[in-house]
Structure 1
């Protein structure tokens, strides 16, 4: 991987994309989205992660975030490690998960190609980090994030999607508190 999408300024403001390996639609189930929301909330409270915008799609999430302590890479690594383990454990233990065998097979397959992973891989290694250095870049990425569910055809208006900060920006209750830009 080139270094064009790496987090270089640990205190900078970044647009980040976390993608599930094989584009597996894990987040089509509420239980897995809740793990993401709870973990992001933990990172806000205990790791000084500032979240300005987010959306959880079926197989990836976008976040605009910044570290209040200059450790964005470390926080993102810890978030991905915790959510990976929690979600894969939930999949393994959930007797009602009809896709369990198939998902576990996909996660095992991707682990074969990653020397950093032993048995299963949930997230891709990349975070597609783009530093946001101007107001135009920030506005563009916030709009991109909030309109993702609209482009997918799930909702008519961004604020109608429950797992997006578009609700916060419209002064509606959201799943996660964000710092408005």
Structure 2
């Protein structure tokens, strides 16, 4: 993460935005939105995540979160890594997904310009965030 994207105070609530590469409209499908909601529930129940609010848009997420143990950066890393791998798998193995080839082309294109991504990239590596001192 560059200087502008560091979470400086790990104990504070943050407003975070996670963006799908190429602004691909992945979350226009219920199956992918449900996967994100299931993972947020899991993180609340087992990873010490306080979820104050969220919005799932067609191509990005907005979250207001805090991590109980003051490890918000670790949570962001783990959440993005797990959800990207699983969403790519679900999308590419979904026989009902009519946009599979188009999405794969977007994920492949963006991975080529980023050494950390492997063959496919789902999330952008930047995250936008703002400290919310009073909720």
Q: Is TM-score (shorter-chain normalized) higher than 0.5?
A: yes
Give me the whole-angstrom Cα distance separating, in 2, the residues matched to 1:110 and 1:68.
33
Q: Deviation at 1:2? A: 4.7
Give the alignment of 1:10-89 within 5 angstroms.
10-89=10-89
Any idea what SS the aligned residue of 2:58 has? coil
Any idea what SS the aligned residue of 2:5 has? coil
Give me the whole-angstrom Cα distance separating, in 2, the residues matched to 1:55 and 1:95.
27
| Aligned pairs, number | 135
Residue 119 of structure 2 corresponds to which residue in structure 1? Answer: 119
Which structure has the bigger radius of gyration?
1
Any idea what SS the aligned residue of 2:73 has? helix
Q: Deviation at 1:6? A: 2.0
Q: Deviation at 1:5? A: 3.3
> Cα RMSD over matched residues?
1.2
**1:91-119 residue CA offsets vs partner (Å, 9 max, x unmatched):** 11111100000000100100011111111
Give me the whole-angstrom Cα distance separating, in 2, the residues matched to 1:56 and 1:93.
22
Contact between 1:17 and 1:62, CA under 8 Å: does it hold in 2? yes
